[in-house]
């Protein structure tokens, strides 16, 4: 398949990055609010009983684990850029500002800025998931799938609500969506068919989100942020499980040609997400902290354990799930490894991963 965002690719050493340095192009991507979507509506065939027991059990679990962002979260807990909001060694901007000789107060602010940016990208992703799960309620062929997709719609609304409130009221800024992330989310929203939408959102993006949130929860030092991430991560784990349960049934029926299409598309989405290497964030904060974004990426790519650091959020959930589904095979495994999405080491440590 053709690579996503081909016009925004260039070589940086041995790595092909996706970069959006043109502010006018970025503004145009963000200004595109209407996404043309080919949409069908699928009746369930008038079968209202449970057809897939695993999905019905997941639906029941989802109902039992609902929470209210207004009353179940302690919003009185302070959040400040004057404190270490996360472990500085797990923050790219924290490490960069330390390397540049900035004082501790500046390093703390840099870690705060990076986390605010990451949470903003997760917020925008939750809005996309809210809309895409609404599409899935139309497209799912069984009652159990429709019930769970509807359950997830409310989860995504709650996640959008809680992240927006955290950023606006406690952290002070909601950063715009990364151009890289916006292009890929538009692809998921506009692609035709139940199978590809489920693969894209439930397996790829929800699986990646679980990996990112796991690292956030383990490394944040703020009780409010940790509690919100814990609650959202618990929901996201169910969503990723829905993707696996649904895709497991799908791949059993798929032809060899259909399997290859799904395998190539999955690689294309995650490769393009990864290929930005945090450049959108680095461009945003470069004037404030005084560094060269491409130089920072080049330094990161040169680390001897770069692949292990880079693969951390992907190896947590999404890569193992794709392997179990037969959507990473000998035909493509070398490609996943070559771009640092797949390694044999799940115990690596490194800087905080940033979507987009």
CATH number of the domain to which 257 belongs: 1.10.620.20
**Residue 164: inside a domain:** yes
Residue 267 CA to residue 318 CA, distance in Å, equals 11
91: left (phi over 0), alpha (psi -120 to 50) or beta: beta
**Residue 39: inside a domain:** no
Q: For the chain, how many helices (H) and strands (E)?
A: 15, 2
Structural domain count, the chain: 1
Question: What pLDDT score does 1 carry?
Answer: 57
pLDDT, tens digit, 9 for 90 and up, residues 110-160: 999 999 999 999 999 999 999 999 999 999 888 988 999 999 999 999 999
Structural domain boundaries, residue 86:
6-31+52-338
**Residue 352: inside a domain:** no
Number of C-beta neighbours around residue 76 at 10 A: 6
**Residue 351: inside a domain:** no
| pTM score, whole prediction | 0.93
Residue 255 CA to residue 273 CA, distance in Å, equals 27
b/e 308-344 (16+ beta carbons within 10 angstroms → b):
bbbbbbbbbbbbbbbeebebbeeebeeebeebbbbbe
Range name among 53-57, 100-104, 182-186 with the lowest pLDDT average: 53-57
**Residue 36: inside a domain:** no
**Residue 282: inside a domain:** yes
Residue 212 CA to residue 1 CA, distance in Å, equals 27
Q: Could you give the percent of the chain with pLDDT greater than 70?
A: 96
Question: What pLDDT score does 345 carry?
Answer: 63
Angle between helices 104-139 and 179-190 (to 10 degrees): 10
**Residue 265: inside a domain:** yes
**Residue 263: inside a domain:** yes
* Helix intervals (H) in 65-142: 92-99, 104-139
pLDDT, tens digit, 9 for 90 and up, residues 278-311: 999 999 999 999 999 999 999 999 999 999 999 9
């Amino acid at each position: 398949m053709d690579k996503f965002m081909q016009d925004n690719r260039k070589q940086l050493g041995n790595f092909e990055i996706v970069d959006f340095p043109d502010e006018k192009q970025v503004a145009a991507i963000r200004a595109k609010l209407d996404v043309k979507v080919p949409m069908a509506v699928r009746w369930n065939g008038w079968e209202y009983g449970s057809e897939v027991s695993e999905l019905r059990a997941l639906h029941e679990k989802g109902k039992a684990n609902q929470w209210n962002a207004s009353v179940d979260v302690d919003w009185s807990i302070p959040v400040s850029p004057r404190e270490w909001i996360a472990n500085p060694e797990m923050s790219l901007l924290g490490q960069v500002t330390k390397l540049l000789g900035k004082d501790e107060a500046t390093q703390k602010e840099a870690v705060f800025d990076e986390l605010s940016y990451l949470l903003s990208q997760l917020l925008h992703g939750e809005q996309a998931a809210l809309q895409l799960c609404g599409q899935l309620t139309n497209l799912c062929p069984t009652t159990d799938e429709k019930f769970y997709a509807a359950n997830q719609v409310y989860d995504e609304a709650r996640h959008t609500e809680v992240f927006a409130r955290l950023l606006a009221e406690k952290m002070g800024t909601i950063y715009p969506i990364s151009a890289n992330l916006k292009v890929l989310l538009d692809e998921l929203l506009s692609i035709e068919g139940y199978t590809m939408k489920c693969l894209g959102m439930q397996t790829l993006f929800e699986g990646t989100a679980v990996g990112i949130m796991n690292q956030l929860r383990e490394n944040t030092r703020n009780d409010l942020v940790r509690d919100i991430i814990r609650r959202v991560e618990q929901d996201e784990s169910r969503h990723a499980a829905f993707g696996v349960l649904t895709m497991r049934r799908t791949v059993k029926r798929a032809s060899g040609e259909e399997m290859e299409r799904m395998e190539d598309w999955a690689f294309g989405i995650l490769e393009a997400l990864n290929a930005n290497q945090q450049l959108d964030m680095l461009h945003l904060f470069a004037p404030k902290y005084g560094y060269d974004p491409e130089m920072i990426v080049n330094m990161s790519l040169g680390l001897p354990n770069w692949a292990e650091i880079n693969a951390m959020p992907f190896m947590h959930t999404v890569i193992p799930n794709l392997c179990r589904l037969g959507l990473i095979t000998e035909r493509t495994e070398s490609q996943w490894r070559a771009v640092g999405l797949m390694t044999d080491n799940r115990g690596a440590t490194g800087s905080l991963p940033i979507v987009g």
